[in-house]
Chain A
Amino acid sequence: MSGNIWVIAEQRESELKKVTYELIGEGRRLADEVGSKLEVVLLGKNITHLAESIGFYGADKVFVADHEALEKYTTDGYAKVITNLIKAQQPAIVLFAATTMGRDFAPRVAARVGAGLSVDCIELKLDENKSLLCKRPVYAGKALVWEAILTRPQMASLRPNVFRPARRDESHKAEVEKVPVEFAPGEIRTTVKEIIKGATGKVGLTEASIVVSGGRGLKGPENFYLVENLAEVLGAAVGASRAVVDAGWKEHAYQVGQTGKVVTPNLYIACGISGAIQHLAGMGSSKYIVAINKDPDANIFNVCNYGIVGDVFEILPILTEEFKKLLAES
């Protein structure tokens, strides 16, 4: 058993996702604590060049599986390559991203190697036996549990935007090892026919460090530009309450809440949103919450760090302008 700490990198279209740096940061911390190596597994097509940069962020070694069949993510493709590599190398701990991708294949890998997997974790620690303990939200964040992982290797997927990303240091270099990849015909049982890009902002809602959301207080879809303009100035993603989605102003992909996306940005700005329990379930763990609502008794004011009691039609244009001024200065 190599006993090393592993990170499964996430890339799409040959671009490393921000969460990968967060995984490397946390993986490095664990590796230093147990005194083992940090190794990263990278899968895709024409992605070998990314290995060097992964080294700059603190990996000791990068396993690269660069293959035609891995160009687009498939459950079977990723699960096979990673399972075989784990069986051959026997890492102690494997970290995945708790993204739609990581959550789609990590349980397959865990089942195949007999590992325990804790998902969507927000904090990790090692006990006195260097065994991994994971903290994760349950009941949409209304409670938190600490979980022990009883079988080896120990696996965890980490919620994006929670862990501190690794810092770049160009003097740090990783060894690169190519992983042979081979698939029998039909072994990958699903084919990706198309990826239709949506429009929740240039950054994905769950990855964004700032989210600006609109609720029924906006009165109609024709006013949603007020939210979008503010988001644009801040480089933020746009979200919505379920009332907005049910009314058909925005697609479900925008919905924040218990039955929508769970977001944990540094800053969440709720505009004309009342703060129903199901909405709070989706954004209550944001670092800072700002609420703009004309009703001083709105529940959202009970959870916000800063609140403005006012009319969104009046406040949003001024706020957008003030942010623009500030960001132009700095």
Chain B
Amino acid sequence: MNIIVCIKQVPDTTTKVRVGKDGKHIDPGGVKFIVNTYDDFAVEEAIRLKERFGGEVTVISMGPERVKEALRMCLAMGADKAIQLWDPAFEDSDPYTTALILSKAIQQLPYDIIFCGKQAIDRDTMSVPVYLAELLGLPQATLVVKLEVDPNARKFIAYRDIEGAKEVIEGLLPAVISTQWKLNEPRYPTLPNIMKAKKKELKELNAAALGLDSAQVGEKGSRVKVLSMELPPPRSKGKILKGDPREVCRELVRLLREEAKVI
């Protein structure tokens, strides 16, 4: 099977967010970057499919120089090849243009299944996988917590995490699958594998190599534009109740009814 995984490099979950000088992005100072938390599940699932059915796993990321480090982590987990998509013209791509860039790279490759994480934990849009499926003319299964693939019948069955339930859907490959927490237990790259990963192929492609015009991508091609970024208003320190359990419980119930009016 030819398996493609789209991964994004994002700030670590513990990042204290500060607004940058331009008032539109976060201040990157001191930020530690990681492979997007949900993309680990995508990479792991891809490697497991390869281990079971044979084939090749290619990881792709659109982003600046630093994303090479994220791609190397995925190679160390067991992916075979990596492709970095970058061009100064890609700066500030919205989810649609991000998917457009990814789709151009994927169209140059053979593929049976494409994995994405369910959501990038920086922009939180959950949209790139859906745009990607649309641009490639493929069916999709998003928020997948369990996946069964039959490469001979070219079929998949995906368990999706929806409100208060799991939805089980079936479709034909190739398809775009977006992965949710608990799909699997992503492996940690071992030291020898980290060393080996350095020798694996990591290709770079720019706008011209993808046949993209700079007007189609980045801020110019985007349909949505960030105007400004702000921090949420700080929560003021609340009332802390201590003392006799019965007393404090009564007081809390009273406050929720009379002051907060939420009960």
A165 within 8 Å of B (CB atoms) = no
Chain A proximity of B43: nearest CB distance (Å): 16
Within 8 Å by CB of A139, from B96, B122, B245, lies B122
- A117 CA / B19 CA spacing, docked (Å): 23
Given A139-B15, A204-B164, A267-B263; A309-B242 close (CB under 8 Å):
yes
Q: Please give me the residue from chain B that is nearest to A276 by CB atom.
A: B14
Size bracket, chain B contacts = 35 or more
Asked if residues B232 and A308 are in contact (CB atoms below 8 Å), the reply is no
Contacts of A115 in B (CB 8 A): 223
Q: Is chain A's interface secondary structure helix, strand, loop, or mixed overall?
A: mixed
Binds B, one of A28-36, A46-54, A214-222, A311-319: A311-319
Task: Report Cα–Cα, A314/B243, bound state, in Å.
Answer: 12
Q: Is A144 an interface residue (CB 8 A)?
A: yes
A195-B167, A307-B239 known; A147 vs B262 contact (CB < 8 Å): no
**Partner-binding segment picked from A55-63, A95-103, A170-178:** A95-103
The A-contacting residues of B in range 197-233, CB under 8 angstroms, are 222-232
Contacts of A296 in B (CB 8 A): 240, 242
Q: Which residue of A lies closest to B140 (CB)?
A: A75
Query: Total A-B pairs in contact (CB under 8 Å)?
Result: 259
Q: Residues of B contacting A145 with CB < 8 Å?
A: 24, 226-230
Question: Once bound together, how far apart are the Cα atoms of A290 and B124, in whole Å?
Answer: 26
| Docked pose: A193 CA to B181 CA in angstroms | 22
Q: Which of B222-263 contact A (CB under 8 A)?
A: 222-232, 235, 237-242, 245-246, 248-250, 252-253, 255-257, 260, 262-263
Q: Does B127 contact A (CB under 8 A)?
A: yes
The chain B residue sitting closest to A76, CB to CB, is: B139
SS of B interface (majority): mixed
Q: Is the CB of A284 within 8 A of B168?
A: no
Q: Are B139 and A284 in contact (CB under 8 A)?
A: no
Question: Given the complex of chains A and B, what is the CA–CA distance between A99 and B226 in angstroms?
Answer: 22
CB within 8 Å of B: which A115-147 residues: 115-120, 133, 137-147
> A301 to B96, Cβ gap below 8 A?
no
A138 in contact with B124 (CB, 8 Å):
yes
Cα separation A275 to B131 with both chains bound (whole Å): 35
Asked whether any CB of chain B lies closer than 8 Å to the CB of A149, the reply is yes
Bound-state Cα–Cα, A112 to B134, Å: 8
Taken together as a complex, chains A and B put the C-alpha atoms of A318 and B246 apart, in Å, by 7
Closest to A242 in B: B181
A144 close to B229 (CB less than 8 A): yes
Residues of A within 8 A of B (CB): 74-76, 99-101, 103-108, 110-112, 114-120, 133, 137-151, 189-198, 200-201, 203-207, 210, 234, 251-253, 255, 258-260, 266-267, 277-278, 281, 284-285, 287-290, 296, 301-310, 314-315, 318-319, 322-323, 326-327
**Ranked 7 nearest A-B pairs via Cβ:** A116-B223, A204-B163, A189-B139, A107-B130, A190-B171, A142-B17, A204-B164
